[in-house]
Structure 1
């Protein structure tokens, strides 16, 4: 269920602060973020965020198509290595 329109998109305040610093040139490199629930805003376009997936930081370069989505959508938490039956069939 989406967030109510009158509330606006959710973004952690520290992300906004770090994004502004990065735009000014104070913060170099990727911005570390643990907030997978934050919405990507138009101010973030062109920046790189390192989003934590529970194990490591995944670099996410924000483009215009990502605006309105959540950071968690671009840093998967699970790795799919295929089904065990597929591996057995390839061995024989």
Structure 2
């Protein structure tokens, strides 16, 4: 090597380019994994779907229970049938 030749420089990205790349990588990491990131948003969206589905099931169950309560309060034949099935009750003349 002659004295006028300098060692080859690593010209891939220089310091400003490396800094810019590091900033971009950090921003992408935050966009994906941060508190308001894409992955968190997806997880929350999925959780919301599951909760809405559970809510629909609970609302359906509540409606069925309301109908059951209404029948037990207002339909003596239904009440008698439930007493026979669930409690094993019989009338005096059925023994």
User: Highest relative contact order (Cα 8 Å, sep 6+), 1 or 2?
Assistant: 1
Give the helix-richer structure, 1 or 2. 2
Give the strand-richer structure, 1 or 2. 1
Normalising by structure 1, what TM-score? 0.24
Q: Which has the larger radius of gyration?
A: 2
